[in-house]
Copies of this chain bind each other. A is one copy, B any other.
Amino acid sequence: MPIVDIHTHVYPPSFMDLLRSRTAVPYIRTFPPDTSSRLIILPGEDAPSNPSTSRGRPIGPDYYDISKKIEFMDKHHIDISVISLANPWLDFLPSNEAGPIAERVNNEVNELCNQYPGRLFAFGALPLSASREVIVEEIVRLSEMKYVKGVIMGTSGLGHGLDDLGLDPIYEALQEHRLTIFLHPHYGLPKDVFGPRVSDYGHVLPLALGFPLETTIAVTRMLLSGVWDRFKTLNVLLAHSGGALPFLAGRIESCINHDSHLLNARKSGGQRSIWDILKNNIYLDAVIYSHIGLKSAVDASGSDRVMFGTDHPFFPPLDTHGDSWPSVQMNYRAIQDAFDGNPKAAEDVLGDNAVRILKLSF
């Protein structure tokens, strides 16, 4: 049985150069006298009012040296990784630069996979600030690349969120070329919602809550705008086990069913429920750090639709001498605890689902 990590990020070398050349978020710099580099990617992460997190996080070879990815995989018994560009992807690029940079970065990522055939596959990145024609051309190009099995995407879309009708040509092309969207948060929630003490708590509120809540809102907006009524076979893999979607799906359905306008539209248009979409269009990763959330994800989508992931190179051990990463151990243990007495389902989640769903052969 192979173990497959479908949630694992990389900044390929040319993207590192790009981040190093910039002075606004996202960027990389050193703060002398410290000689190590810091990665600053989150909105507001370098605001002077936020001293405790104003220097982002340390960035080392784990982020860009693919041999480090393989080392990490070996250490954690991972056979195959489906790598993806880390956030904020290409969202921030000026329109005219996005197309060529996407091409270069995607080629580079595909080439990284080619260095370790059979061990690496990839989600491509889209030049979402470019024209729709350029985006669709890149989708077609990605669909022909040997190791690319989908695209990673944030929640901003073309700038107005994923319920924007302007995305329809993109969704159509992705559906047509059978590329799964790996939907990943980045923008979080406005800092104010976390209150005046937010910086006392480091990154916990934006990362532990802002990220999954952003995903939950984005996917609910997709549902409400009828994305899956128009694109019935569009597949979306949700980061962090869907944010909080499996837990909140019942409340979402109840709220729709108690709104006469929406309910009538649903009845007359045959619109699909979130439960239907969870079972037929949504995949969930297993990056949830607890068997409790994982069981809920499996109950919502099925053990044939949930896939192991690590979020490497984020959440590295605080103790750098450790052998195995606690963040990875937690997610392994969650699978073990969730499927106690059902080793087949555990194997599905650990790797078999990813091989089947993403067609990991070449």
Contact = CB atoms under 8 A, between A and B. Distances in A.
B250 A163 contact: no
Task: Determine how many copies of this chain the complex contains.
Answer: 2
A17 interface: no
Nearest to A204: B255
Interface residues of A, number: 68
Nearest to A194: B217
Nearest to A264: B318
A220 B209 contact: yes
A260 interface: yes
A13 interface: no
A251 to B, nearest CB: 5
Contacts of A240: 251
Interface in A239-283: 240-241, 244, 246-263
23 contacts: A52-B261, A160-B195, A160-B196, A161-B196, A193-B193, A202-B259, A202-B261, A203-B255, A205-B217, A205-B220, A208-B220, A209-B248, A212-B244, A212-B248, A240-B251, A246-B296, A249-B290, A250-B290, A251-B290, A257-B318, A258-B316, A292-B300, A295-B299
Interface of A: 52, 160-161, 163, 189-190, 192-197, 200-205, 207-209, 212-214, 216-217, 220-221, 224-225, 240-241, 244, 246-263, 288-293, 295-296, 299-300, 315-316, 318, 326-327, 330, 334
